[in-house]
Amino acid sequence: MTSEIDTVTPVDRNDDEPRRRYELEETGFMEVPARWRRFYRHWRGAGDSLAPNEVICPVCKVVIRSTRELRPGDKVYCMPCMSRMVIVVGEDGRLEAEVIF
Ligand SMILES: [Zn+2]
């Protein structure tokens, strides 16, 4: 079960260091096929916040979720808008996703 979760996550990790793991639950995100839904959620706006395993897609503003905490250099795929991005440290020190082509 655990290894299957790893193979379906759209996040491509850049190292093998231990990371905090997260259980992802369905959030009612219907824009992608069922097996991928728990990897995405809608940003709820003011008052919402990102967990260490979440990042916002700068293109479509969907929240992308990983089964482990995100780190700079991780590559992330946003299925709803088909963007590929890499995790970087933003100006405020928080993790952001930067689109790569
Ligand atoms: Zn997107």
User: From the CA of 62, how far away is ligand 1's center (Å)?
Assistant: 6
pLDDT tier at 19 (50, 70, 90 boundaries)? confident
- Tally of domains in the chain: 1
User: From the CA of 1, how far away is ligand 1's center (Å)?
Assistant: 27
Long-range contacts of 79-82 (CB under 8 A, 24+ apart): 79/10, 79/32, 79/36, 79/39, 79/40, 80/31, 80/32, 80/40, 81/57
Which phi and psi angles does 83 have, rounded to 5°?
A: -95, 145
Task: Check residue 8 and give its pLDDT.
Answer: 45
pLDDT tier at 3 (50, 70, 90 boundaries)? very low
Per-residue pLDDT tens digits for 49-89? 999 999 999 999 999 999 999 999 999 999 999 999 999 99
User: From the CA of 2, how far away is ligand 1's center (Å)?
Assistant: 26
Task: Check residue 2 and give its pLDDT.
Answer: 43
> At residue 35, does pLDDT exceed 50?
yes
Domain that holds residue 63: 2-100
User: From the CA of 55, how far away is ligand 1's center (Å)?
Assistant: 10
pLDDT tier at 11 (50, 70, 90 boundaries)? low
User: From the CA of 56, how far away is ligand 1's center (Å)?
Assistant: 8
> At residue 28, does pLDDT exceed 50?
yes
User: From the CA of 61, how far away is ligand 1's center (Å)?
Assistant: 6
